[in-house]
Structure 1
Amino acid sequence: MIGRILPRPLLSLTVLLLWVVISSSVTPGLLLLGSVLAVAVPLLTRSFWPNPPRLVRPWQALRFLGIFAADIVTANWRVARQVIGPLQRLSPAFIEVPLDLRDPFVATLLASVVSLTPGTVAIDLDQQRWILLVHALDAPDPQALARAIKKRYERPLREIFAC
């Protein structure tokens, strides 16, 4: 019963919390309106949400998030030094990363992780050929970057979601 009313409980909670944060005051009427939105938004958008694969190894997911956070910090530092330094040293490149995973949700998650890491942007996710097209600000060895993405991000995501 609750699953039909709240198909995405975390989304409902997020909508309600955001509503409270953006409201200038907390009154019973605003809380009621926020609650209605928290129920209505997930119900009305239910058909747009893919069914994500089940998280099989949550502890490994926490480890992955730690590695990803550290990569963001170090990549920010590296990109800042590259941008401040001589631009002639940069070797921008488009790189095709062949994917071993076949789950659209996890592939999109991988593309997001690559895009959130400074210095790289996922340009396209070809789900016909299962290739992730990445633009790198500096990739003197494009194949080494492709291998690093597969080892550092794709492999752990495949293990976390068992796909």
Structure 2
Amino acid sequence: MIRRLLPHPGLSALLVMMWMVMVNDLTFGTLFLALVVGVAVPLFTAPWWPGRPKVRFLPACRYAALVLWDIVIANFQVAAIILFKPTRDLRPAWLTVPLELSSPEAITVFAGTISLTPGTVSADVSACGEYLLVHALHAPDPAAEIAKVKARYEARLKEIFP
């Protein structure tokens, strides 16, 4: 019964929190409207969600903390590159990262993580779903960059999306 009313409880909770943050008013009316939106949107969109991936919560929390830390560090590294490195010394590169992830959700999180980290952007996923095309602002050793991204992010995502 509860699963039919809340097909995606995490999405419902996120919608309620975001609604309250955007409205910036803690009254009964806004909370009630947030709950209505938080229940209605996942309920009416559930038929278009073919299957939910299994996500392990604790590794996902550790992954989120790691990504936030990497974003902060990468901001300083990119700022240092821009401010102190002559542009002729930059070594931008296109990296073709072979994927071991199989679920579309895991590949999306992986590509999003790369794009969120300053200095890199994921550009495309191959039609076969086995490669991710990434542009790096400064990659003197492309093979090492690919190995770093795979070890740092993809290995952890394999734990989150079994």
Aligned to 1:82: 81
1:139 matched residue in structure 2: 139
- Measured after TM superposition, the shift of residue 60 of structure 1 is 3.8
Cα offset, 1:27, TM superposition: 4.1
- Whichever residue aligns with residue 72 of structure 1, its letter is I
Say how many residue pairs are matched: 161
Query: Secondary structure in 2 aligned to 1:38?
Result: helix
Tell me the TM-score normalised to structure 1 length.
0.85
Unaligned runs of 5+ in 2: none
User: What's the counterpart of residue 121 of structure 2?
Assistant: 121
Residue pairs, 1:1-163, within 5 angstroms: 1-23=1-23, 25-49=25-49, 51-56=51-56, 58-85=57-84, 86-162=86-162
Distance 1:104 1:95 in 2: 20
Q: CA deviation at 1:130?
A: 1.0
SS in 2 for 1:135: strand
Find the aligned partners of 1:159 and 1:18 in 2 and give their Cα distance: 28
Could you tell me whether the CA contact under 8 Å between 1:122 and 1:133 is conserved in 2? yes
For 1:158, the aligned partner's letter is: K
Gaps of 5+ in 1: none
Contact 1:75 1:118 in 2 (8 A): yes
Distance change in 2, residues 1:151/1:127 (3 Å): farther
> CA 1:6/1:136 → structure 2, altered by over 3 Å: closer, same or farther?
same
> Hey, what's the Cα distance between the residues in 2 that align with 1:16 and 1:60?
24
How much does 1:59 deviate? 4.1
Q: Give the secondary structure class of the aligned counterpart of 2:55.
A: coil
Identity %: 44
Residue 140 and residue 12 in structure 1: after superposition, are their counterparts in 2 closer, same or farther (change >3 A)? same
By how many angstroms is 1:53 displaced? 2.8
Local SS of the residue matching 1:45: helix
What TM-score results when the alignment is normalised by the length of structure 2?
0.85
CA 1:153–1:46: 2 relative to 1, 3 Å: same
2:138 partner SS: coil
How far apart are residue 63 of structure 1 and its match?
3.7
SS in 2 for 1:133: strand
CA RMSD of aligned residues (A): 2.2
Work out whether residues 96 and 131 of structure 1, in 8 Å CA contact, stay in contact via their aligned partners in 2. yes
8 Å contact from structure 1 (residues 104, 127) kept in 2 = no
